[in-house]
Amino acid sequence: MHARTFWHLILLLSLAPALQAQDQAACYVALPAPERIEAVRQYIRQSWDLLTRSHRDLLAAVQDPKVEHEPGTPWPLYIAATEDRASVWQRLQAALPDSALRQIELRVLPENPVAHLDQIRPHGLLYLPEPYVVPGGRFNEMYGWDSYFIVRGLLRDGRIDLARAMTENHLYQVRHYGKVLNANRTYYLTRSQPPFLTAMILAVYAHVQDRDWLAATIPAIERYYAYWTTPPHLAGETGLSRYYDLGNGPAPEVVASERDAQGRTHYDRVREYYRTQEITAYDVSRYYVAEADSLTPLFYKGDRSMRESGFDPSNRFGPFSVDIIHYAPVGLNALLYRMEMDVARIHEILGDTAAAARWRARAETRRARVDRYLWDPQRGLYFDYNFETGRRSDYVFATTFYPLWVGMASPEQAARVAANLYLLEAPGGLLTSTHISGSQWDAPYGWAPLYLIVVEGLRRYGYDKAADRLSAKFISMVVEDFERTGVILEKYDVVQRRSDVALQYGYTSNEIGFGWTNAVFAELLAQMQQR
């Protein structure tokens, strides 16, 4: 029996009968008592300040557990060549004592940093003008798609100025680097993350109602949209988009920090897997040279691009998802549809109906292409499309609900997807996929951002009972684990309903904080309480 098939069978057996549709429908979990919930909410409200980084916190922010640093040397802080060095230094002098400034070295990046990455040594923090919230743990910087969910949580808790500041930082990155970065470290300059920029802008606008500010975001939005809709981010001849990191070679942060208890890097473990396992999902010779026991340049391109997707790692695009560069993914193209519709909405608010119509037309074109390539009418699910082979994947993943969240699914498609929720539902709520791979973005793990998207997608089409059930499972799981550990974590084993994880690939820890889990807990709870 193939290893993936074996572990999938084990997963199904471990969930039985919990994954039976009729049992899941009846398996409603009541919300915990108000005082238990309030203890978690108090932790979350306090966490926003603990996780915030401003200029005053710069000495803590420049430090990075993911890369090596020579003791006794200043921490580098980089600014874009298009930034005003004197102005930035003046800001830092106003915020920091001399003792802290002596431990920081302000450096200017090359004019085209992606083309001159070899000149950027050592790696370091990228300057941002406004305060921001970090996820927590080893993630001591502002992340791309994490920030959208964090902003939702900040707005829910009345932290409007901080939510707006984070949005300004994302716009700043686009203006200086051409994209929202994976995060503000130099080793992330080559890639973005799932595009939530316009969703973030409109979420903030709903609270501030500043039309001048909204209008000022359009040039950055258009530049970021171009990043996703021009080569090399086009998925063959489909007219859809793909993930594609602009860098080459091993990811520096992976080499330095993603090590297991034996000291093996993620790449060491990948090579061992290739040596010992049969690979049928793709032609492994493109990614691994058996005679030399070495990973190919194309492997590293795929590995980096998998990290741009935010799902790092899983086996969704074959082992370690390195074949992602040959796919048009459901989630990315749903988010770009949302972006197109968001920009149309922005132009409507500003009174430009002609521009709004152009952007809606782009969205409708994308919807038709998603229906053609990504919708499986037999399975009633959306799947990623391999534009090299001309075939859809059959890997069931929670991104199949993204078209519901963005509103591009027809009522009939939404009904089919909602009817398949049982495939991903577990005692703790939502599995990321139906496959056990040893990676964190597969079963038995569940992640807060996917809960929010799936729950809100279900609500959008009237499936409130299922949305309430998932929300209650998530809230109760987080509360119970919080009472056991005293903290909120990055991810959860949704089969065991605990934050204990046993990972074989990527980084093997479960980080404390945690930005998007805090935010999604607050948001789903509020939605439940408002019903």
Give CA–CA dist 429/441, Å, rounded.
15
Predicted confidence at residue 8, as pLDDT, reads 45
* Nearest Cα residue to 429 out of 461, 455, 457, 399: 455
Q: Predicted confidence band at 27 (pLDDT cuts at 50, 70, 90)? A: low
Model pLDDT for residues 462-513, shown as the tens digit of each residue: 999 999 999 999 999 999 999 999 999 999 999 999 999 988 887 788 899 9
The DSSP letter of residue 31 is P
Average pLDDT of the segment spanning 246-268 = 89
Question: Is residue 7, in this structure, part of any structural domain at all?
Answer: yes
Q: Predicted confidence band at 316 (pLDDT cuts at 50, 70, 90)? A: very high
Q: With a cut of 70, say whether residue 12 has pLDDT above it.
A: no
Q: With a cut of 70, say whether residue 521 has pLDDT above it.
A: yes
**8 A C-beta contact, residue 321 and residue 314:** yes
* Nearest Cα residue to 180 out of 210, 209, 141: 141
In the block, tokens 């080499």 appear at: 255
Q: Is 477 helix (H, G, I), strand (E, B) or coil?
A: helix
Does residue 210 carry a catalytic annotation?
no
Q: With a cut of 90, say whether residue 401 has pLDDT above it.
A: yes
Give CA–CA dist 277/3, Å, rounded.
8
Question: Is residue 178, in this structure, part of any structural domain at all?
Answer: no
Which of 267, 286, 321 is a domain's end point? Answer: 321
Q: With a cut of 70, say whether residue 11 has pLDDT above it.
A: no
Model pLDDT for residues 329-385, shown as the tens digit of each residue: 999 999 999 999 999 999 999 999 999 999 999 999 999 999 999 999 999 999 999
Which is the catalytic residue, given 245, 258, 442, 490? 490
The DSSP letter of residue 106 is E
C-alpha dihedral, 77 to 252 to 314 to 190, nearest 10°: 60
Predicted confidence at residue 390, as pLDDT, reads 98
Model pLDDT for residues 48-89, shown as the tens digit of each residue: 999 999 999 999 999 998 888 899 999 999 999 999 999 999
**Would you say the C-alpha torsion 195, 201, 206, 212 has a positive or negative sign?**
negative
Average pLDDT of the segment spanning 381-393 = 99
Question: Is residue 137, in this structure, part of any structural domain at all?
Answer: no
Which is the catalytic residue, given 312, 342, 468, 481? 312
Q: Predicted confidence band at 412 (pLDDT cuts at 50, 70, 90)? A: very high
Give the CA distances from residue 440 to residues 44, 278, 303, 382, in Å, rounded to whole numbers and listed in that order.
24, 21, 15, 22
- Phi, then psi, of 123 in degrees rounded to 5: -70, 155
Give CA–CA dist 425/29, Å, rounded.
13
How buried is residue 91: exposed, middle or buried, by Cβ count under 10 Å (0-12/13-18/19+)?
A: middle
Which of 321, 355, 372 is a domain's end point? Answer: 321
Predicted confidence at residue 336, as pLDDT, reads 99
Question: Is residue 11, in this structure, part of any structural domain at all?
Answer: yes
Buried b (16+ CB within 10 A) or exposed e, 344-355: bbbbeeeebeeb
Predicted confidence at residue 326, as pLDDT, reads 99
In the block, tokens 């063959």 appear at: 236
Which of 287, 321, 355 is a domain's end point? Answer: 321
For the entire predicted model, the pTM comes to 0.94
Predicted confidence at residue 29, as pLDDT, reads 85
Predicted confidence at residue 504, as pLDDT, reads 83
Kindly state the tokens that stand for 506.
């990527």
**Would you say the C-alpha torsion 137, 143, 149, 153 has a positive or negative sign?**
positive
The DSSP letter of residue 480 is H
Q: Is 386 helix (H, G, I), strand (E, B) or coil?
A: strand
Half-sphere exposure of 340 (CA within 13 A, CB side): 22
Question: Is residue 38, in this structure, part of any structural domain at all?
Answer: no
Predicted confidence at residue 298, as pLDDT, reads 99
Give CA–CA dist 459/462, Å, rounded.
5
Q: Which residues pair with 446 in a beta bridge?
A: 492
Question: Is residue 141, in this structure, part of any structural domain at all?
Answer: no
Give every CB contact of residue 521 below 8 A, 6+ residues apart in sequence.
Answer: 40, 41, 44, 448, 474, 475, 478, 488
**8 A C-beta contact, residue 353 and residue 214:** no
- Residues of the chain above pLDDT 70, percent: 95
Predicted confidence at residue 1, as pLDDT, reads 43
Strands (DSSP E) found in 9-164: 52-53, 75-79, 104-108, 125-126, 132-133
Predicted confidence at residue 227, as pLDDT, reads 99
Strands 381-382 vs 375-376: parallel, antiparallel or unpaired: antiparallel
Mean pLDDT (the chain, rounded): 94
Domain count along the chain: 2
Predicted confidence at residue 185, as pLDDT, reads 98
Question: Is residue 390, in this structure, part of any structural domain at all?
Answer: no
Model pLDDT for residues 155-214, shown as the tens digit of each residue: 999 999 999 999 999 999 999 999 999 999 999 999 999 999 999 999 999 999 999 999
Predicted confidence at residue 59, as pLDDT, reads 95
Question: Is residue 327, in this structure, part of any structural domain at all?
Answer: no
* Structural domain boundaries enclosing 256: 252-299+310-321
Give every CB contact of residue 177 below 8 A, 6+ residues apart in sequence.
Answer: 80, 113, 189
Q: With a cut of 60, say whether residue 23 has pLDDT above it.
A: no
- Residues of the chain above pLDDT 90, percent: 89
Predicted confidence at residue 9, as pLDDT, reads 47
Amino acid in position 86: A
Does residue 490 carry a catalytic annotation?
yes
